[in-house]
Structure 1
């Protein structure tokens, strides 16, 4: 897993690399510029396009000057650099690269005020005005310049971070910085790129390696980590000879209602394909025919007016919630399971029931897994203005209650009892369909049934679920939850 660092920590990584490689800071800047240009050229290979490069006078601007020089060397003749001269300070590396640019054939202009910009009509823009480290919105000339660039309505490539975007911390509602098409960032993505508000600043991002000291970066203290495929391979176990259905545990899925049997089927199907040895579905009486027809491998446990699960200890995993419905009977069922002090997987309607019973939240058994989407999360833990604060709350409760909180989004945040936040990289917009959460609950349940720890089960399930959807999206405009549920086994096999 990769450590994700703050802007200050990444600056420390720069300094450590310079001191210990050793490498001069100007040469590290050149390396960053080369990595940026290589990435840029994959997207923009038409050398006839005109490019405007806006450079501040710090190191981000120094990167921009080096990029201009390299693009000229790669056949881009129609380049103009705009030096953003809104202050007296400039970095020494910026000054060196400015002198190099003066000795080239590159056109340049100095901007003392945004109002001085007239008739700029580039095909592309590169934003190298301000780097990371900002913690408040742009004001004055910088805000006016960002507005001007945005109004040009051209494709913008940002160097490391869009001007005006916070690398970490709470993001303001009314973003007033540069709006990039793509950000090409160095060595690590900014933590805030994984939050939904970042779409206002950059449509996408790509990370390029500039050979900073990885041992130093990996050794830094942080709460945020990025799951990698190698992590999931380490978690997963190969099935061994002489194992049998009892080896892989018994999962109970308490789900579905009169009009929502699909949720029970999807969760049970995903659990089955994840490899649980036995799967039982506790369902509404009216769903028996559907279950027996669609999933003959799954055993049925019918729910009456009030159902109490006899001997819950015989199940290695109990999941409750998908399509369950909200009723006093289901509230009593959930409460009875919580009072047994057994770790559960709680999703959907069970989360909504839990939000009305804060007394039960405090009684959750250690290693319980909650899987809320944003609205369910806010019902449980209170309204939040932004995703940074939401994740901080999830982290706090995961530590306080010693549970796992799976906060679902494009990048799902798996908040662990030890305070770590694992960010899941897999999944895509083709999966934006009903039932995906039910399938994820089934995958988590299947892994817990096989005696994976709650933390490992949640991290691996999110990755496998999303990766299955990623592979399916290569051939499909949309991906259904049924496709994902049945594709899980193939994905696990591929990972192993």
Structure 2
């Protein structure tokens, strides 16, 4: 599912109006009708006080039109117009006249107005600012937003929480609506998925307001939201007449004294994801534990007892996953550097291997093309430098990925994959996965998919989704706090089954 910029949404509105030969007012009425249908389906005429706060632009026009529909169906409403400018959109003015014809008289809030009373039992509809916001709200509007946030009422935001810009972090974090639910029009917004801005969106849902399918299809988006619908076509079914060699030979390199468990986690996940063969390369101290904990994995050892000092491989693997628990000793960094020069198989580079690259940037030129880097936030900062906000981070990360021809995985609540100037935003995963070893499992999953012949970008997109889905399945059974990295691996098979199951089966399973 595409994630559009504000300008692309405006273009889609304009295209729809011209192609379908309708007015902008008709499009606004379609949006208001969808908003009303969503609310009405849940309230069914329940007597609750609905307070609508409407700006004087098109977002406010949506709110005014919604107020009229709610009134016509017997709901108790109060309409507050936030009079923050002398300018008014024509569709706002048109809908304002319509509600007056219905004997609805809005309360106009100005800079010197008293703040309206809001009860915790009220429903607040936020339609003050839309996607066109290009400056911080005035102080008095900011006080109104703070008043709404402090009310403890259920806050339903129209399209986007007021005060939240589309293409940057908020100017003033206190002047943003903290929405209980966002009903967004047609396409999701990138700000819903970034750490600094996603905190203002508790839950969100898309409403199809009738934007023309042609413009949605032909418009290229800088970001794409990845759900089950996007993942299913990437799946590569297994062949009846196949053998272990059909599904590739993965090499997992890592570990040091006291950190062999990271290699165990990655190796086990690699196998469970379907790699035909897995060999682990570890220091001598890891031999016995790997042979006993993951008997399906073949083990090669370094001559060094405690650390990796020289990587000698007797075969050419299809893919290498490296870095888990490996440490940053000078001899280990040298061994990694030599491996980069000698091996051209794609690599999944994680953990301390990333820290070695950050300390030795000249090594970056030797990374095999389309290798996959999986940093957590601090490792990412070491690679690309500090950033001002999430948008600056994304731009710097895009530049880094393009310059070094790598696939960059920015891990987080909504992991974002960057390659060749485009981003893919993941939709699976949960807070329980913020636990030791979770990243090692992800490295193993992606490595296993590359080994089986998945193109590296698709392996990364699929792997990130599968990793989060496995974590979601376990958390749904045991709770967030009980999630361990090893338990994520046990749910990889269930994750595959969910991806391949008919949607209604998945829905039934999620309902319990």
TM range (shorter): over 0.9
5+ long unaligned stretches in structure 2: 501-512
Shift of 1:285: 2.5
CA gap of 1:339–1:72, structure 2 versus 1, over 3 A, is same
Q: Does 1:257 align with 2:259?
A: no
Which residue of 1 is the match for residue 359 of structure 2? Answer: 356
Structure 1 pair 290–45 and aligned structure 2 pair: CA distance change class (3 A): farther
Quick check: 262-271 or 46-55, which moved more? 46-55
User: Cα distance, 1:146 vs. partner?
Assistant: 2.0
Are the aligned partners of 1:5 and 1:190 in contact in 2 as well (CA < 8 Å)?
A: yes
Displacement of 1:345: 0.9
1:4 Cα shift?
1.3
In structure 1, C-alpha distance between the alignment counterparts of 2:314 and 2:384, rounded to whole Å: 28
Report the CA distance between 1:117 and its aligned residue.
2.5
Deviates more, 1:445-454 or 1:16-25: 16-25
Q: Secondary structure at the match of 1:52?
A: strand
8 Å CA contact 1:187–1:208 kept in 2: the answer is yes
- Structure 1 residue aligned with 2:421, among 419, 422, 428? 419
Aligned residue for 1:116?
114
Q: How does 1:275-294 map to 2 (within 5 A)?
A: 275-294=274-293
Residue 301 of structure 1: how far off its partner (Å): 1.3
Partner of residue 480, structure 1? 484
Taking the aligned partners of 1:10 and 1:53, their CA distance within structure 2 comes to: 24
The superposition leaves residues 404-445 of structure 1 with CA deviations (integer Å, 9 ceiling, x where unpaired) of 1011111111111x2211111111223222221111100110
> What are the superposed Cα offsets for residues 347-393 of structure 1, whole Å, 9 maximum, x if unpaired?
01111121111111233221111000111100111111211111111
* Deviates most, 403-412 or 82-91: 82-91
1:21 to partner: Cα distance? 2.2
Classify 1:359/1:31 alpha carbon distance in 2 versus 1 (closer, same or farther; 3 Å).
same
Q: CA deviation at 1:341?
A: 4.8
> For residues 132-147 of structure 1, what are the structure 2 equivalents within 5 Å?
132-147=131-146
SS of structure 2 residue aligned to 1:257: coil
Q: CA 1:120/1:248 → structure 2, altered by over 3 Å: closer, same or farther?
A: closer
How has the CA–CA distance of structure 1 residues 13 and 80 changed in structure 2, closer, same or farther, with 3 Å as cutoff?
same
Shift of 1:75: 4.2
**Secondary structure of residue in 2 paired with 1:166:** coil
* Change over 3 Å in CA distance of 1:300–1:41 after alignment to 2: farther
- State the match for 2:375 in structure 1: 372
What is the match of residue 187 of structure 2? 188
- CA–CA separation in structure 2 for the residues paired with 1:136 and 1:333: 52
Correspondence 1:119-198 to 2 at 5 A:
119-121=117-119, 123-172=122-171, 174-198=173-197
Could you tell me how far 1:134 is from its partner in structure 2?
2.1
Q: Is the 8 A contact 2:281 2:302 kept in 1?
A: yes
Q: Call closer, same or farther: CA 1:175–1:361 in 2, change over 3 Å.
A: farther
* Cα distance, 1:75–1:284 mapped onto 2, change above 3 Å: farther
8 Å CA contact 1:252–1:319 kept in 2: the answer is yes
Using the TM superposition, name which of 230-239 and 262-271 deviates more.
Answer: 230-239
Contact kept in structure 2, 1:83 and 1:108, CA below 8 Å: yes
The more displaced of 386-395 and 478-487 is 478-487
Give the equivalent residue in structure 1 for 2:508: none
Please name the residue that 1:384 is paired with: 387
1:312 and 1:32, CA in 2 relative to 1: closer, same or farther beyond 3 A?
A: farther
CA distance, structure 1, for counterparts of residue 153 and residue 115 of structure 2:
16
Show the 5 A alignment for 1:40-119: 40-41=39-40, 47-77=46-76, 79-104=77-102, 106=104, 108-113=106-111, 115-119=113-117
C-alpha deviation, 1:104, in angstroms? 2.8
The answer on whether the counterparts of 1:282 and 1:300 sit within 8 Å (CA) in structure 2 is: yes
In the alignment, is the contact (CA less than 8 A) between 2:176 and 2:200 conserved in 1? yes
C-alpha contact (below 8 Å) 2:55/2:83 kept by paired residues: yes
Q: Distance in 1 between matches of 2:110 and 2:440?
A: 56
Shifted more, 285-294 versus 350-359: the winner is: 285-294
2:416–2:424 CA contact under 8 A, matched in 1: yes
2:247 is matched with: 248
Shift of the alpha carbon at 1:105?
A: 5.2
CA RMSD of aligned residues (A): 2.1
Q: How many residues align?
A: 493
* Unaligned runs of at least 5 residues, structure 1: none
In the TM superposition, residue 42 of structure 1 has moved relative to its aligned partner by: 5.9
CA contact (8 A) 1:86 1:112 kept: yes
Distance in 2, Cα, partners of 1:195 & 1:114:
35
CA contact (8 A) 2:136 2:170 kept: no
